Each structure stands twice: as structure tokens, then as C-alpha cells.
Structure 1
Amino acid sequence: MTQRTLENSKPSKTHWLITMYAGGGEFCDGYILSIIGVALPLITGAFQLSGAMAGVIGSASLVGMFFGGLVFGYVTDRIGRQKVYLADIAAFIILSLLQFFATDPWQLTVLRFLMGIAIGADFAIAATIASEFAPQRSRGPLLVVLVTMWSVGAATAYVAGWAMLSLGDDAWKWMLASSAIPAALILMLRIGTPESPRWLLSKGRTEEAREVLTKMLGPGADFSDLEADTDSRTRYGDIFRGRYRKRTLFVCVFWACQLLPIYAITTYQPTILHSLGLAEGNASYLGAVIIQIFFVLGSLSGALVVNKGRRKLLLWSFAIAAVPLFLLAALVSPSAWLVILLFAVFGVASFSSQCLQAIYPSELFPTGVRATANGFATGVSRVGAAIGTYGAPLLLAQSTRLAMLVGGLIAVAGLVTSYFLAPETNGMTLAESSSAEDLAAIR
């Protein structure tokens, strides 16, 4: 009987279900982090917030993600993927509902911070578990689907928020609590997801790993191609030592440069569109929905090119994304349709490489510290995103054109960093890409 391995198998129903369930967490992440963009102007009016306090509430989840990623990535490597996989979604449900009962800005800030911790944990686990089940040839496209769910969640948040604007003074409460609905659905779907056979094998639980693979691939399954990837210990400090030090730096910097302008624009998109004269009143939210659709299309477009080169995709993404931001900074009184077009180009370019946020940490680090690296990169990148989200209203108060200029410069910084540090891992197994001696060796 011909033996089949996880790396050389064809994507099956099980692969797709695991990816979609992991992506369900990304959907919730995108929804939770984007619904605040619709609710924040209403919260600002309800509590008479200053621009600084609005920035605190808007960035609280991102600060929480810093701590959630740093702590729970490591916890996931220690105790297993499955436990954290369920616990973080349960936290989404509880915290979403509690936001409905917030009576002052600081209560809301604390709840958003705690929500961020749960999101940081989910970011660390979702990409890790999906990549560890994915076959080598299908890993890129499967993780594109995973990350696209974030964009779908964000777009859904804007549609749902726009639909709830008519609920009156308490509309923002319903908006924030509404994230409990998709979270509850995903929790039910995730129950029963098997533990990662790579993680089981790395902990010496060979028979359990064999049982999971047999259920997935049939009686001819073996894990000979997993053994090299699982020969690593779980020590937090390893991601800062030897060949992994430069990889950690690269992943954190490129991820932060991607997210800083994206989160700032997504969180304050209605405000930005209104300031650019796109629409008045609630119509600016509809404009945000239209642009979010392009973000989804951009994310899906990554599937067309991710297997043609990870490095090329990242470089071109940063280069193209910078152009519309610089044009928005330079143009005086652009037409509404030009504004939409430029944001659409930015969205397609930026989101086309979002899949690399899941792919690179998973391919550059071994099983023993894969979730740790994912979590650390999640946390550090959110520091940049939090700075952007907190600083965006301050920049917008000065000038929308200045805010766009800063966003363009950050994209250029990501391009320069990626040019010198981005490796090419396409076509490699997880064992091959994570064990290469240095980044130059896998260009």
C-alpha cells in the first residue's frame, strides 16, 4: 500500500474545514476590530470624548493583542493548539456581550483591551493550526482563505454597523455586542477539531499523532516528513537566538508596516471619507462598505500569486500600496470617485499580501516555537497598529493629507525592510523552510 504523508497529500474536506474554522476566528477578529470604526463616532458623541480619548478606545484592543500574542503564543506551544483554540472564542462571546452594559469610557476601554488579549491569542493559534495541517503545495492558497476571512469579517462589520445606525442613541451598544453572534457560531463549529499531529509528535505523543493522521489520510498515512519539523523544544528565547533572530525581526517589522496604515484607515474610514468630501452623514459609512469590498477582493487575489513567490508578492504589495496614499496626500479636493479608486488600489495591493502574515511565521519557525513566533509577531505588530490607531485622529485633526503622507512613508519603510530581509520559502516543506541556516539561503 502506498503511504501518504501530510506534506504530499491533496487538500481534502478535512483540510478545508480546519482552515475555515480557523478562518472563522479571523472573521471574528476582523469584525470586532472593525465594528469599532462604525461605533466610535457614536461613542464619541454619547460620552463627549476628546480626540485623545477616542484614540484610547480605538486602540485598546490592539494594545491587548500585544499582550495576548506575547503570552498565548507560548502557552499554545506548551499546552497544545486545541485548548487555546476554543478558549479564545468563548472569551469573544462573553466580552462582546459585556460591552453592551458599559456605562463609561473606561469600562469600554478595559473590555476592548481584554477583547484584544483574546484576539491576540486567536491570531497566534489560527495560522499555526491551519499551516500545520496544510499540505505543502496547498499551504499558500489555504492560508489566503484563512486571512481573507479577516477582510470578510471587517466588511461584514461595516455592513452590520451601517444597518444598525437607525437604532438610536444606543446603536453603538448593539454594534459592539453583535460580535457575540458569529463568535458563538464559530465556537460550535470548532468543537471537535483535532489536535495538530505535528505538535503531538513534538511532545512525544506518537500514537495520538498517528491516530489523527490516519483519520485524515487513511490507513496508509505516515509522518516521516513531519519528524524533522517537530525536533525542537518550546523555549521562548529561541526565537531571539541564532538564525531565528533575524527572522523574528523581519516578521515583526513587515507585519507592523502592513498593519499600521490598514488599521488606522479601517478604524477611521468613515471619518476619513467624510473629510475628503466623499459623502455626508450616514452615506460615508456606505462608502466605507464599498471600499471594504475591495479589501476582500485584494485579500483573495493573493491566492493567484502566493505560489509564484512569497518575496515578490510582499515587495510588489508595499510598492503599489504606497502610490495611492502619496496621491491622496498630494491631491487637493479630489473627486469622490477618485478617492474611492485610490483607496480601492490601496486595499487590493495591501490585502493581497496579508496572507504572508500567516505564512511567513509558520514557515520560518519549527513546531516547538511556531505559535510562540506567531504570537510574538502578532503582539509587536499591534504596537505599530495601536500607534497608528491612536495617532490617526490626532493626524486627521491636523490634516487628512498629512495622515495619508505618513501612511505612504510607512509602506515605503516596509518595502525597504522586505527588500533586505524577505526570504523565498515557496515550494518548501515546513521542515525545509524552518531549518534553513539563514534567510539568504532560502531566497
Structure 2
Amino acid sequence: MTITSNPEPVSTSSTRPKAPVDKQRFMIRMTGVIVGGMFIDGYILGIIGTAIGAATAELQMSLLWEGLIGASALIGIFIGGPLGGWLADKFGRKPTFTLDLAMFVVCSFLQFFVDSAWQLFAVRLLMGVAIGADYSVGWPLLAEFAPARKRGKLMSFSEVAWYLGFMLAFAIGYVMTSAFSLDWRIVLGSSTVPAVILFLARLGLPESPRWLMNQGRTEEAHQVAHDYLESPAEVLDLTSESTRKGTFGMLFSRDYWRATTFISVFWFCAVTPYFAIATFAASVLSDYGLGDGFGGAIGVNGLALAGVVASLLLIERIGRRKLTIPQQWVCAAVLLIIGLWTSAPPAVILGCFLVFAFANAMCTALTGVYPGEIFPTEIRGIGTGFATAFSRVGAALGTFLLPWSMHHLGAGPSMLVAAGVCVVGALVSQALAPETMGRPLSETSAPRRGGRDTAKAAL
């Protein structure tokens, strides 16, 4: 008698759910709890712009402290990105994904009680550390569960959530401070509410099957894949995973230095001018004669949200490169116009800022897609974390230096510097950005040793 083996992995009660999982509903939940992390990141970075004035007056802060507090969360992300990525690659996505948000909840709540500049800086710095860790585990986790045919759309949705959080925080903060005259501590501490909801929603999520496979826990990996992955092709692609241990040095090896350079420089150049302009949008637009700047600031942030929505709708139709490169050239062009035509009518200046916001957001949506796709499992966390940290150097510099630059150099030269940053990003992306649309992770994260990969990446 011939005995045939069962091709399905044998499961145990400790690793298999008691009832079949609705895979589509699970994917919606997974996407929601990951993009929620991006929402609260955008929220805390947007809310500070509406509360910093009152906090500065009450705490009698110097310009140095004001700049440090404005950039504190970004500095924290710089620390938390690599740290969280290392933890996620070494100890797993699941525990890091839960603990980083727990840390955020605690620190967010502490904002209600700060009474000095250094306390506010320290609390928001730790919140940034937690958010940085969330970047480094959330995107890899989503990439490792999402089917290739809609991976880009699901991952770019995180950028929609970020801009929504940033814009909503700006509007809520403005209403809280202007209409209700609430204490700035309440304004900042309002981030605790969405953070608690998100923390509860994350409880009970499974570990990444690709991380389990990379750790040599093959049976567990197949069980999780069988239970939660929608596509049989994704389950089959697990067999391409190795048990090679990742190291930080691999990011700069012959196989992956191009991927590391591309995503780090691209992300840096995309967020640096946006953070500088959007954080201080009201004051920047006011300097150009646009009243108190609030209406224009809402327009800038609103167009940014529309830009990432446009990318979300197009990313699985036209690919990654066509949403990455042309938009950076558009940003450079409109900032160049603003910088050179200093006497332009206010309507022209506002129109240029709105075009910049839309085009910049379209390409920035890809910063939520590429990291999870171009690094292999063993360094997906640390690679995302390094790129996150590198980008936040630019974001922090833009946020910290723009007030100084506007005051000492003037609006025109400040915008010319921002245009130059966009040009650098466009050139690097033109040379190194891969096309990853519709391809399994085993292909998108494969070593690249000769310029662009083998995909058809021409525009």
C-alpha cells in the first residue's frame, strides 16, 4: 500500500486558530493597524505647529528650545528607526510592533503634565523613538503579508494616513487653541486617544511567516502562511527565504548598497522641504503676503493628502518609477519659481506652493512602499530603520533651520535651497529607482549588482 504525504503542514492547537480566518478581513485589519501608526506620526508632527507658540510663551523658551522641541519627535525617529529595525529583525515583528506603541501611549499621556522645556523635549523625543520603531516594523510586516498584486496600494495607504493625521492635527489644534483657548498640554496630549485605540487593535496579531522562515521555524511559518496569506503564490514564495542572518553591514554590501542609497537619499530629499514648509506653513505663507496664512496652510496640507491618494489609485496601474521621478522635478521647478520670482503676486506664490504639496506627496507615497520591497527579510527591518533615520535627519534639519533661514537669508534663498534638495532626489531616483510593481518579494529584494535591476524600469 502506498502512503502519500500530506502537502499541508501539520498544525497544532497552539499555532493554529480554532476557526478558519477570514483572510480578507484579516488583511484589512493588518493594514489598518499599520497605517494607524502612520496616522499618529502625522498627528504628533502636525499638532506641534499649533501648540508651540503657546508653549513657548508660557515656558519662556528661547529660539533654540523652540526649534529643538519642534524637531524633537523627528530626532526620536532618527534613534528609533534603526533600533526598532534591529529589534524586529532579531526578535520578531510581533513583539516590537506591540511594545513600541505601548511606549508611545505612555509618553503621549505624559504630555498632559509637562511644565518645562526640557520635559516637553524629552517626552516628545521618546514618542519619536516609538514612532521610528513603528516605521521599521510596520512596513516590513505589511509587505510580508500583502499579496504582490496589491502590495503597493496597501502600503501607500500608510502615507494617506500620515497626511490625514498631519492635516487633521493642524485643523484640530487650530480650533482647540483659537476657538476654545484650550491649554497647549491638552492640545498635544490629544494624541493619546488614537494611540490607545490603536494599541488595543494590535493585540493578537500573528508573527510574520517570512521572519519565521528566516529564523528556521519552517513549520510555524507554513502554518501562519496557510492561515493568513490570501494568495497561494505568496505561500509558495516562502520557499525562497533563506536562514541567513542579517547584519547592518549588509546594507552597504555589493548586493544592497544601491537599494540603501536610493531609498535613503530619495526619502531624505522628499521630506526635507515638505517638513520645513508644512510645519511652518502659516508663517511662511504669511511672509509672502497671504494674510494669517491659515487658509493657505490648510490648502497646502489638503493638496498633499490629495497627492498621496492619487498615488494610491495609480501605483498598481503605472508602476513605482512613474510616481517617483517626474514629481520630484515638478517640485524643484515650482520652488525655483518661488525662490527667483520674489515679487510674484500672492496668488502665484500660493499656486506654486499648492502644486509643490501635491507633487511632493505623490512621490512621498512611495517612501512607504519601497523599503518593504527592496530589502530582503533578514535586513528588511534594519534597512527600513536606517532609511527612516536618514530621512529624519533631513526632516529635522528642515524643521529646525527654516525659521533661521527665513529670518537671516530671506524667503527667496530658502526656497532655492529647497529646490536644490529636490533636484538631488530626482537625479538619484532617476539612476537607482527600481520597478517592483506586481513582483514577489523574492524578486524585488534580490541582489542588484549592476545599476538598475532586471525589471523594465524605463519611463
Q: Name the SS for the 2:402 alignment partner.
A: helix
Cα distance change on mapping 1:61 and 1:84 into 2, 3 Å = same
- Structure 2 unaligned residues grouped into runs of 5+: 1-5, 9-21
1:435 aligns with 2:435: no
1:145 aligns with 2:154: no
- Deviation, 1:368, is 0.9
**Correspondence list, 1:21-36, <5 A:** 21-36=33-48
Cα distance in structure 2, aligned partners of 1:95 and 1:156: 21
Alpha-carbon displacement from aligned partner over 1:278-325 (angstroms, at most 9, x marks no partner): 223xxx334322321111110111123323222222111211112221
Residue of structure 1 aligned with 2:309, choices 300, 311, 320: 300
Cα distance in structure 2, aligned partners of 1:222 and 1:162: 46
Match of 2:365 in 1: 355
Q: Which amino acid aligns with 1:381?
A: S
Residue of structure 1 aligned with 2:336, choices 326, 332, 342: 326
Q: Name the SS for the 1:355 alignment partner.
A: helix
1:343 aligns with 2:327: no
Cα distance change on mapping 1:360 and 1:221 into 2, 3 Å = closer
Cα distance in structure 2, aligned partners of 1:217 and 1:84: 21
Q: Name the SS for the 1:242 alignment partner.
A: coil
Structure 1 contact 51–393 (Cα < 8 Å) conserved: no
Q: Which amino acid aligns with 2:325?
A: L
CA RMSD of aligned residues (A): 2.3
Residue of structure 2 aligned with 1:373, choices 368, 380, 383: 383
Task: State the TM-score, normalizing by the size of structure 1.
Answer: 0.92
Q: Which amino acid aligns with 2:80?
A: G
Structure 1 contact 51–394 (Cα < 8 Å) conserved: no
Q: Name the SS for the 1:224 alignment partner.
A: helix
Q: Which amino acid aligns with 2:312?
A: A
Match of 2:135 in 1: 123
- Structure 1 unaligned residues grouped into runs of 5+: 4-9
Q: Name the SS for the 1:428 alignment partner.
A: coil
Equivalences, count: 434
Cα distance in structure 2, aligned partners of 1:410 and 1:38: 27
Cα distance change on mapping 1:377 and 1:162 into 2, 3 Å = same
Cα distance change on mapping 1:196 and 1:394 into 2, 3 Å = same
Structure 1 contact 257–414 (Cα < 8 Å) conserved: yes
* Stretch moving more, 80-89 or 201-210: 201-210
Q: Which amino acid aligns with 2:334?
A: P
Structure 1 contact 65–379 (Cα < 8 Å) conserved: yes
Query: Which structure: larger Rg?
Result: 2
Residue of structure 2 aligned with 1:55, choices 63, 67, 71: 67
Q: Which amino acid aligns with 2:436?
A: T
Q: Name the SS for the 2:372 alignment partner.
A: helix
* Stretch moving more, 216-225 or 418-427: 216-225
Alpha-carbon displacement from aligned partner over 1:16-71 (angstroms, at most 9, x marks no partner): 22112100000000001111111122222223333332211111211111111111
Structure 2 contact 216–243 (Cα < 8 Å) conserved: no
Match of 2:15 in 1: none
- Deviation, 1:151, is 0.6
Residue of structure 2 aligned with 1:418, choices 405, 424, 429: 429
Alpha-carbon displacement from aligned partner over 1:79-134 (angstroms, at most 9, x marks no partner): 11111111121222211121222212111111121111111101111111111111
Q: Which amino acid aligns with 2:381?
A: A
- Deviation, 1:268, is 1.2
Alpha-carbon displacement from aligned partner over 1:232-275 (angstroms, at most 9, x marks no partner): 32322211212112221221111100111111112211211222
Residue of structure 1 aligned with 2:418, choices 398, 407, 413: 407
Match of 2:299 in 1: 290
1:311 aligns with 2:311: no
Q: Name the SS for the 1:426 alignment partner.
A: coil
Cα distance change on mapping 1:94 and 1:50 into 2, 3 Å = same
Q: Which amino acid aligns with 1:24?
A: G
1:199 aligns with 2:216: no
Match of 1:210 in 2: 222
Residue of structure 2 aligned with 1:163, choices 152, 170, 175: 175
Structure 1 contact 269–288 (Cα < 8 Å) conserved: yes
Residue of structure 2 aligned with 1:96, choices 108, 111, 114: 108
Q: Name the SS for the 2:289 alignment partner.
A: coil
1:235 aligns with 2:244: no
Q: Name the SS for the 2:244 alignment partner.
A: coil
Structure 2 contact 256–447 (Cα < 8 Å) conserved: no
1:108 aligns with 2:120: yes
Q: Which amino acid aligns with 1:160?
A: I
- Deviation, 1:373, is 0.3
Q: Percent identity?
A: 36
Q: Name the SS for the 1:401 alignment partner.
A: helix
Cα distance in structure 2, aligned partners of 1:199 and 1:223: 13
Structure 1 contact 31–156 (Cα < 8 Å) conserved: yes
Structure 2 contact 325–363 (Cα < 8 Å) conserved: no
Residue of structure 1 aligned with 2:266, choices 254, 279, 294: 254
- Deviation, 1:224, is 2.3
Residue of structure 1 aligned with 2:144, choices 120, 126, 132: 132
- Deviation, 1:340, is 3.3
Q: Which amino acid aligns with 1:102?
A: V
Cα distance change on mapping 1:298 and 1:70 into 2, 3 Å = same
- Deviation, 1:231, is 4.4
Cα distance in structure 2, aligned partners of 1:227 and 1:363: 17
Cα distance change on mapping 1:26 and 1:222 into 2, 3 Å = closer
Match of 1:6 in 2: none
Task: State the TM-score, normalizing by the size of structure 2.
Answer: 0.89
Match of 1:83 in 2: 95
Structure 1 contact 198–229 (Cα < 8 Å) conserved: yes
Cα distance in structure 2, aligned partners of 1:23 and 1:113: 21
Structure 1 contact 314–353 (Cα < 8 Å) conserved: yes
Residue of structure 2 aligned with 1:46, choices 58, 61, 64: 58
* Stretch moving more, 256-265 or 338-347: 338-347
Cα distance change on mapping 1:353 and 1:16 into 2, 3 Å = farther
Q: Which amino acid aligns with 2:273?
A: P
Cα distance in structure 1, aligned partners of 2:139 and 2:232: 27
